[in-house]
Amino acid sequence: MKVIGIHDGHCATACYLKDGKIISLVSEERFTNVKNQGGFPIHSLKWILTENKLSIEEIDKIALGSYAMWDWGHEDEIVYNNRLRSSILRLSKFFPKSILGSNFAIDFFLFVMKRSRRKMINRYCSKYNLDVKKIEIVEHHSAHALSALYGSGFTNSVDSVLIFTSDASGDGLSNTVSTWKKSEGYKRIQFRSAFHSLGMIYAEVTKFLGMRANEHEYKIMGMAPYVPLEYSERAFKKFKEYIDFDPESGEIINKKGSGNLFLESFKEDFYRERFDNICAGIQRHFEYIIISWIKYWVEKTGIQSVVFGGGSFMNVKGNMLIYDLKEVKNLFICPSCGDESIALGASYKVALELGEKELHPIETLYLGPEYSDRSIIDAITKNKSKLEYKLVKDIETEIARLLSKGMIVARFQGKSEWGARALGNRSILCRGDDPRVIHKLNKSIKMRDFWMPFAASMLEEDSKKYLDNSRNIVSRFMMLTFRTKSPSNYEIFCGLHPYDFTCRPQMVSKESNPAYFRLLTKFKALTGISGLVNTSFNLHGFPIVGTPEVALNTLISSKIDYLAIGSYLIWRKDINLKLK
């Protein structure tokens, strides 16, 4: 069976599933160079069809994620939905919480949105030559749940799995709990409307503090560890007056009002409260709710193999506490589990409905475009007045040598990785034991907020040298944070959180990425260090680079020392670097 999965909202994405196996997975931002590009992912779809030598007629089904969505490419639809949303928010002030958080509210919302969704699908079919009979809509949180469930591979190894989803909002819901059993299959056992959204309050705090909701939440999380527990106490208690956990029912409960109207209350409740105290308070609140919720349902169901999907689980500090739970025996967090994963989950569900016998787990995220040396040379030729380059026989050895000398090297190699995390193939790399290199990286290239940590790639075989990982979990997709061991952690100090020295690692093996493994092995031979600082290859405000042209423009517009792309090493003409 051939199934295409489509997510056409925030960070639009397309997925190709063939006979239950993930063949291609890519987000639209990699083609448009617009971060979190929304709308129908036509460039991604065209690339998938071309890459796999397919016509759209050969696809058995198109799995479209979410009933509630607006057409990002249709201005009238955007205006209509924004007006509708604003009207609902204004009216929500006059309705009691019992109605706003009820199933009736969810049903009414979906009734209104399904009408515009049908129009949107007809426009897609007309514009992109799609067969409306082949399109199946998959509910938002079901897609999140199934991306985690079947992505984990647990259905092949255990008899039962507990599934949690949580995000700001999707098809009127904010969180769900489900089970999968070999004897029963998938079954949702609890859900809460978007009115009770833990993700929403975190997003509204992000907005309240002057940052971009649904994008800059990680900055809140990054600031939180700097704050002593007692300084965050007031904010933590105040946030519990907004959203709390009910230990009797196992539900997350909104005690205040509509999540989108929280801003009005924040102005009064947090007047003259320090920025960092608020960050720590909301992160502590998030962790308290999530851990209480998970522990309740693990105990109630008795299921210890647990998987997680939805944007709330991009919070790696919260994930570290889930890792710590003794109640959880087997753990899997869907990689890049924001809405971009909807395309994958929708594909899994439709493939299952088509009678697919086996759904393969997520084995790799290197599922995007790869570029030939010919296309790279064409891109270099367009910029030859600004660049120098040379052909390198052993590019990984050369990268390792330059990194050992303290250079900052961008690496553009092989297939691009899908998702929000750079996993070596579209990464900026530097050694992790020299703060001077990090200062240059941050000031001249990434321009990140001063409190934010970088991440690290390390040899999986040596990861225990740096990480406190008693459960021996292999973290290849940067979805977990670990405490680190002193004094060896100084070797990767610049890839740790500057205050609490935790690390969000990518463990690299010969099987997971042979070329990147070879680079790390060569670097270890030169320095004795088994890890590198790894940050995404992009400039501030842009997505991870998607094409050779964007990669070269990023080199030209930054202070990156070298770009290793394909078999070529490239540097700017305006800097005095000697190749030895």
Question: 182-223: per-residue pLDDT in tens?
Answer: 999 999 999 999 999 999 999 999 999 999 998 999 999 999
282-291 confidence digits (pLDDT tens): 999 999 999 9
For 401-456, write each residue's pLDDT tens digit: 999 999 999 999 999 999 999 999 999 999 999 988 888 888 878 788 889 999 99
396: part of which helix (H) or strand (E)?
Answer: helix 395-404
pLDDT of 269 over the 90 cut? yes
Cα–Cα–Cα angle for 500, 505, 507, nearest 5°?
A: 150
Closest CA to 98 of 240, 196, 200: 196
Domains and CATH numbers, the chain: 2-141 (3.30.420), 143-341 (3.30.420.40), 373-572 (3.90.870.20)
Residues 130, 55: Cα–Cα separation, whole Å: 11
Q: Confidence class of residue 346 from pLDDT cuts 50, 70 and 90?
A: very high
Q: In what order do the strands lie in the sheet with 409-412?
A: 387-391, 568-572, 562-565, 409-412, 426-430, 531-536, 455-459, 505-508
Q: What is the pLDDT of residues 291-327, one digit of tens each?
A: 999 999 999 999 999 999 999 999 999 999 999 999 9
Output the six-digit token pair for 255.
Answer: 């005690």
DSSP 516-563: HHHHHHHHHHHHS--EEEEEESS-TTSPSP-SHHHHHHHHHTS--SEE
Q: Is the predicted pLDDT of residue 477 greater than 50, yes or no? A: yes
pLDDT, one tens digit per residue, over 16-42 is 999 999 999 999 999 999 999 999 999
Q: Which pLDDT score, from 0 to 100, does residue 362 have?
A: 98
Q: Kindly report, residue by residue over 143-191, the tens digit of the pLDDT.
A: 999 999 999 999 999 999 999 999 999 999 999 999 999 999 999 999 9
Confidence of residue 70 (pLDDT cuts 50, 70, 90): confident
DSSP per residue over 120-175, as a string? HHHHHHHHHT--GGGEEEE-HHHHHHHHHHHHHTGGGT-SEEEEEEEEEEETTEEE
Query: What's the pLDDT at 580?
Result: 45
Q: Write down the pLDDT at residue 492.
A: 96
pLDDT at 97 over 90: no
Percentage of residues in the chain having pLDDT higher than 70: 93
Residue 444's pLDDT is 75
**Is the pTM of the predicted complex or chain greater than 0.85?**
yes
Distance CA 366, CA 416 (A): 5
Classified as helix, coil or strand, 402 is helix
